[in-house]
Structure 1
Amino acid sequence: MKRFDLSLYLILDPGLCRAHSMAETARLAAAGGATLVQLRDKSGGTEALIATGREIRAALSGSGVPLIVNDDVAAAQAIGAEGVHLGQSDMEVAEARARLGPDAIIGLSVTNEAMVRAVDPALVDYVGIGPVFPTATKQNHNAPIGFDGLARLVGLSPVPAVAIGGLKAQHVAAALASGAAGVAVVSAICGQPDPQQVSRELAAQLATHRAGGA
């Protein structure tokens, strides 16, 4: 299908991106080694999401880092984003694929075995598995599954998986050991004084563990 890298998956949160705007956070994170950026903003409507998304897409221009929009397929289309990430209660994956076409990146959140077994690799490009730990950045999330649960679900998934939910730098090794293709982070980058530096440190840890280092 299409080429994308789940290694360091940044989820932008408007509540945390105060020292830097979401666009500036995305730019700095990409410069530091973030490989994919998701815009997630539950507080605004589609028009606000489009305006912010266009700023972020401009900030990422030339970086090679794709922009994914959470939930809102119409906003993703208007922004010209590379794809969408859908929850279980969002638009059906088949409809999103029909609207966005074969080249779009489509991710899907999964939290249990039944959801993973229902994934159609003809429609879904990757899954987000979690939450691994409790997280304050998403309200009413499911019960944490831990790294044992992550490994079990990754092993069942027919598509690459990114681990999500309360993950920090110290969790990189365990996430990769569980079979995840990468880690999705929010507060580990958003709201940090230097998003570029913390992204660089996370990217370096990912590279070290992939190379078999400590």
Structure 2
Amino acid sequence: MFNRRLYLVISEDACKGRDLVSVATAAVKGGVDVIQLREKHLDNPAFLERALRLKEALVPFRVPLVINDNLWVAQQCCATGIHVGNSDLPPLDIRAQWPSCGILGYSIEYEKQLCTADAAAADYLALSPVFATATKTDTVTEWKLEGIRKIRAMTDKPLVAIGAIHEGNAAGVIRAGADCLAIVSAICAAPDPEKAAAAIRLQIEKAL
């Protein structure tokens, strides 16, 4: 069962020149309890090398590593799981090719996806994006708080909210029905990732 609260989506680009593993470990110390490595522009060997380095750093913290949209890398580094969108390898195919997958996440970009077998096969559903963000340029639906409330009423699946979420709006997103917040810039680009993560985690706990 997916029961995480603060989800870091990290890439080297998002870290603004800082070491990715250092940013990730600082964020974990601040309260991040699951990390997704998202490297859309790396070839498989480079992606795998980065995944292995990050996974090793997370072992002492017992924080699971999820790989974005690369089944080969996820399997090769023995990641806990994988996250896919509606233009990636579908969750049903992931289940068939990787039966031991521990966490399978699926991005929901429009309402009718919710009623598909692929959504049913996922461990959590990510509403993407909740608010428009420069890190996602192919937005189908900007869910906003009303969208979270609507989807919450339609499913018992854990909901992960992503898209321009930060300390100032985190509590409202949780109160609208999200179970977990996925953060990119508000932690990765923060001057102090540990402090930024702790501030968001505090808002989550207050809203529960």
The separation in 2 between residues aligned to 1:134 and 1:122, in whole angstroms, is 26
Query: In 2, are the aligned partners of 1:119 and 1:158 still within 8 Å (CA)?
Result: no
Offset of 1:119 from its aligned partner? 4.8
Q: 1:60 aligns with which of 51, 58, 61?
A: 58
Q: 2:131 aligns with which of 130, 133, 136?
A: 133
The separation in 1 between residues aligned to 2:38 and 2:103, in whole angstroms, is 16
Unaligned ranges ≥5, structure 1: none
Instruction: Report Cα offsets for 1:8-65 as digits up to 9, x if no partner.
Output: 1110032121353221111111111001100111111222111111111011112121
The separation in 2 between residues aligned to 1:101 and 1:22, in whole angstroms, is 29
Q: 1:162 aligns with which of 135, 160, 163?
A: 160
The separation in 2 between residues aligned to 1:121 and 1:44, in whole angstroms, is 27
What is the aligned partner in structure 2 of residue 88 from structure 1? 86
Q: 1:27 aligns with which of 20, 25, 28?
A: 25
The separation in 2 between residues aligned to 1:143 and 1:92, in whole angstroms, is 19
Cα 1:92/1:120, change in 2 over 3 Å: closer
Equivalent residue runs for 1:13-24 within 5 Å: 13-24=11-22
Offset of 1:169 from its aligned partner? 1.0
Unaligned ranges ≥5, structure 2: none
Q: 1:152 aligns with which of 144, 150, 153?
A: 150
Identical columns (%)? 31
What is the aligned partner in structure 2 of residue 143 from structure 1? 141
Cα 1:8/1:95, change in 2 over 3 Å: same
Letter in 1 for 2:90: E
For this pair of structures, how many residues does the alignment match? 208
Cα 1:119/1:25, change in 2 over 3 Å: farther
CA RMSD of aligned residues (A): 1.6
Query: In 2, are the aligned partners of 1:128 and 1:164 still within 8 Å (CA)?
Result: yes
- Answer with 64-73 or 102-111: which moved more: 102-111
What is the aligned partner in structure 2 of residue 114 from structure 1? 112
TM (norm. structure 2) is 0.93
Offset of 1:151 from its aligned partner? 1.3
SS in 2 for 1:128: strand
The separation in 1 between residues aligned to 2:156 and 2:111, in whole angstroms, is 12
Letter in 1 for 2:196: V
Q: 2:10 aligns with which of 9, 12, 18?
A: 12
What is the aligned partner in structure 2 of residue 204 from structure 1? 202
The separation in 1 between residues aligned to 2:8 and 2:193, in whole angstroms, is 11
Match status 1:189 vs 2:187: yes
Query: In 2, are the aligned partners of 1:172 and 1:206 still within 8 Å (CA)?
Result: yes
What is the aligned partner in structure 2 of residue 173 from structure 1? 171
Offset of 1:142 from its aligned partner? 2.1
